[in-house]
Structure 1
Amino acid sequence: MRFLEIILVVVNFGLLYWVFIRRKKASTNIVSLWPLAVGYFMVIVQMVAEGVSWRMIPAYLTPVLLTAYLYVKRKNIKPRKWYVLTIQTVLLTVYLAITIIPPIVMPVFSFEKPTGIHSVGTVSYHWTDEKRKETFGIDPEAKRELMVQVWYPANEESEKRTNQYMRDVPEKEEGMAQLMGLPDFMMSHLGLVRVHSFSEGILSDRQERYPVLIFSHGNAGNRNQNTFQVEELASRGYIVVGIDHTYNAGATVFPDGRTVKYSTEDEPNTLAEFDERMSIWSEDVTFVLDQLEELDKGGEDDQFKGRLDLEKIGMFGHSYGGATAYRMLLQDDRVKAAINMDGSLFGGPVPEKSVQKPLFLMYSASSLDVDRFEADLDEITPEEILKQTGRNREALEKDFYDLMSRYEKVVTSGALSLVIPNSNHTSFTDLNLYSPLMRAKGEDTVQIHLLVNEFTLAFFDQYLRGTDDNVLKQLGAKYPEVHFQSK
């Protein structure tokens, strides 16, 4: 809960308990008005200073309850029995619980401040690949359109008010809520979350050119889902380019107002289908790399002219985006190093010489837990497995063990790896900040984000900037619990 949210609840419920226990009589005496004045004042202050949120509706109603209790006409107030007082206190306590649960379960969270020397600017682009037709949608002649956001080191003197967490907040909130099976309004509080980057910043003149990192979200995610990571990297002197993979992102909003939500059309279910989908995502990244070359020539935005170090390009991604980063490392010479965060290695069989360039695999312990996978299947009947997945147990096991085999082959071929305990699939994103209910047992999301950022920065610094190659090993010693494995 935010500071004023806490103060609002403490003050107003303190007043409620005080008034109920004292059984204050209805009165027009100005002195009796002060509890109401304080109650309404606290609601107004919180709304104005921190913003109105559905999560606080029960708290906003506390002065209304005070009004009803104090000023409903009553002729005689008889002494209460002890059990009546007990029941009233219990009911009020239940109401208090109902009040504090929503803001605790769905907090308006804050991002840790980036630690680099640069402020962080951001700008978005709408790019259309005229060479490709859109695979999804109803228009057979439509071209593939992408929304791309760039985070970059900015001069401090250009800093303005920081942005909302997500651009086009209502549309993305609705898309995210629908994917999570929640009513649309339940994600509206994300509009109150602010980030440390700002629009219209001037690219920092501390360096002539900056290395470039491409970010690819997970299936049904979005380009903003790893804000904790992209802002930190930009503050450390990287230009980070996030892609919304249209129709596979939770929601993509174009400048003309069109909103494209996640498409369930031909949604992959088998390993073969996920392998096939990889061609669309990798072609998206190839197109964005081509556009960055044009941007460096001065197209569309002069401030990036001659400022992108296209000889030092890395890529990182989460889940399916992590698999895309791995595939781009294999197939595009422009990508010099890549990080796959908890992504199965989709895209086809692993080549015999699978790791010829620097690759870093970051995984949650749960994603590699074979025993847990088998135990989960053992808990449900074959009929339920078929009903839930459309496939039998043998098919699920074959795909799982094929993916595990790919992982083991890549690791033994020389990839760096770490496995984070007390984490889950979404620990590598902002999503576990959304609610403690999303976190693994014993998870410290802020601490996980910290170590992910440290390892990410050390990896790209070493393989794109040529800095100290001992930093990664030092981090492995600093965080022995993550089981870091280097070459």
Structure 2
Amino acid sequence: MPTFALRGALAVAVTVSLLTSAAPATATTEAAEATRVAQAVLPRPTGPYPVGTTTLHLVDDSRPDPWVPSEKSRQILVSLWYPARSNQGPTAPYMTPQESALLLEGQGIEGLPPDILSRTRTNAVAEAPPAGRGRSLPLVMLSPGLTAPRSSLTALAEDLASRGYVVAGVDHTYESFGTTFPDGHTTTCVACQSWDSPEYGAKSTKVRAADVSFVLDRLTGPRPAWRHARLINPSRIAMAGHSIGGGSATWAMLGDSRIDAGVNMDGAFHIPIPERGLSRPFMFLGEPKTHVPTGTDATWGRDWPRLTGWKRWFTVGRADHTSFTDYPLITDQLGLDPGDRLPGTRLVEITRRYVGAFLDLTLRHRSQPFPRYPEVTSWRP
């Protein structure tokens, strides 16, 4: 089964370390020192608002953890990004050093400092006072790819927040290489032990849909977990995800009528849409090798006719599976060779523009054409 992988973006680091081992000692030392001090920086959001962020630790007592049944409650970490009144204050960390080390280790990446990803500089100010009136802000749920933490979609989340959305990035516990909880303990990818089994895709899809519905309960229900939840408009909600996170969006929408629209960024659908169809708006955004009508993943073509509402299918030339996350941007800034892939800055721009245009249309009913990029192809099978 296809899995989210940093290896496509970072594997060149291994080559770099092998090449420098044959170079003169001074060059090797200088290269190693440059790597140690490198810091990636996420691009500034494009909207008019500063961005704030906070983290929620949510506990679902209604079900045991699906990956570790001995844990009688499902515990989930959620990052919220939102429009803020001010950009004064320290920006939030991208991820913890433990999460960075586990992500690199899980992908078999060597030659980089273990904490290098945690040094990435973000734009969102931790605990900044939010902006907005009651029930004025649409809500976007973000689900990351297999093995990836919620932080992998930060550049997209910050941009949406700067344009007036509340964005909830969900860490699906035990499906990420590392998730660090507020008490300091870090869970690992227990689900990875079974990802080669035929049942894994469907199970993960259902787990993620349940996680998203639970988080919606805690954000829009009578006793919300976020003290500023009154700003959220509960009648304007979308879900977007990468890889299996995107592939889970249709199943989440079928099971939860609160989700008005969905986006799948380069993810296969492991559970088919039933024959009755899904009538709410949906968008595909993927790499061409896999996700064109004649590509190697047939699930988009299979489910396309059963999307009976407003829909769009886009592919991005010279993109790969990681292209719709932060990682191409980060690895470019760390000086790693992208090969034939588009530059990370361009990929972030395209992802932000297309996802943003879709959400503006479907949640805010702002009629506008999609942006036109020469790298992007629109398909109408």
SS in 1 for 2:77: strand
**TM alignment of 1:234-245, pairs within 5 A:** 234-245=161-172
Q: Which residue does 2:345 correspond to in 1?
A: 446
The structure in which a higher percent of residues are helix is: 1
CA distance in 2, matches of 1:319, 1:244: 14
Deviations 1:63-121 (Å, cap 9, x if unpaired)? Answer: xxxxxxxxxxxxxxxxxxxxxxxxxxx976x7336633774799522111111111111
**TM alignment of 1:139-158, pairs within 5 A:** 140-156=70-86
SS in 2 for 1:128: strand
SS in 1 for 2:100: helix
CA separation of 1:91/1:249 partners in 2, compared to 1, >3 Å: closer, same or farther?
closer
**TM alignment of 1:79-478, pairs within 5 A:** 95-96=26-27, 99-100=30-31, 103=34, 107-137=38-68, 140-156=70-86, 159-166=88-95, 169-183=96-110, 186-205=113-132, 209-264=136-191, 266-294=193-221, 297=222, 299-304=224-229, 306-346=230-270, 348-368=271-291, 401=298, 403=299, 405-409=301-305, 415-436=311-332, 437=336, 439=338, 441-468=340-367, 470-472=368-370, 475=371, 478=372
Deviation at 1:405, TM superposition (A): 4.5
Root mean square deviation of aligned Cα: 3.0
Deviation at 1:229, TM superposition (A): 0.3
Structure 2: which amino acid aligns with 1:282? A
Q: Contact 1:424–1:439 at 8 Å: present in 2 too?
A: no
Structure 1: which amino acid aligns with 2:91? T
CA separation of 1:91/1:452 partners in 2, compared to 1, >3 Å: closer, same or farther?
closer
Q: Contact 1:117–1:236 at 8 Å: present in 2 too?
A: yes
Deviations 1:98-152 (Å, cap 9, x if unpaired)? Answer: 6337747995221111111111111111111110011223x62521110111001
**TM alignment of 1:4-83, pairs within 5 A:** none
Deviations 1:418-463 (Å, cap 9, x if unpaired)? Answer: 0001010000001112324574514122111101111111111111
Count of aligned pairs: 358
Structure 2: which amino acid aligns with 1:358? P
CA separation of 1:249/1:371 partners in 2, compared to 1, >3 Å: closer, same or farther?
same
Structure 2: which amino acid aligns with 1:120? V
Gaps of 5+ in 2: 1-16
SS in 1 for 2:114: helix
Deviation at 1:355, TM superposition (A): 3.6
Using structure 2 for the length normalisation, give the TM-score. 0.84
Deviations 1:321-368 (Å, cap 9, x if unpaired)? Answer: 00112221222110001110000011x223224341100000111223
CA separation of 1:466/1:217 partners in 2, compared to 1, >3 Å: closer, same or farther?
same
Larger RCO (CA within 8 A; separation ≥ 6): 2
CA distance in 2, matches of 1:254, 1:101: 31
Structure 1: which amino acid aligns with 2:60? D
Deviation at 1:484, TM superposition (A): 2.0
CA distance in 2, matches of 1:265, 1:208: 39
The structure in which a higher percent of residues are strand is: 2
Deviations 1:275-299 (Å, cap 9, x if unpaired)? Answer: 23321111111111111123xx464
Q: Contact 1:251–1:259 at 8 Å: present in 2 too?
A: yes
Deviations 1:25-75 (Å, cap 9, x if unpaired)? Answer: xxxxxxxxxxxxxxxxxxxxxxxxxxxxxxxxx9xxxxxxxxxxxxxxxxx
Structure 1: which amino acid aligns with 2:254? L
CA distance in 2, matches of 1:106, 1:431: 18
SS in 2 for 1:247: coil
Q: Contact 2:288–2:295 at 8 Å: present in 1 too?
A: no
CA distance in 2, matches of 1:180, 1:455: 29
Gaps of 5+ in 1: 1-57, 59-89, 374-399
CA distance in 2, matches of 1:247, 1:407: 28
Q: Contact 1:424–1:440 at 8 Å: present in 2 too?
A: no
CA distance in 2, matches of 1:331, 1:91: 57
Deviates more, 1:100-109 or 1:243-252: 100-109
Deviation at 1:175, TM superposition (A): 1.4
Deviations 1:191-210 (Å, cap 9, x if unpaired)? Answer: 32210001121111367521
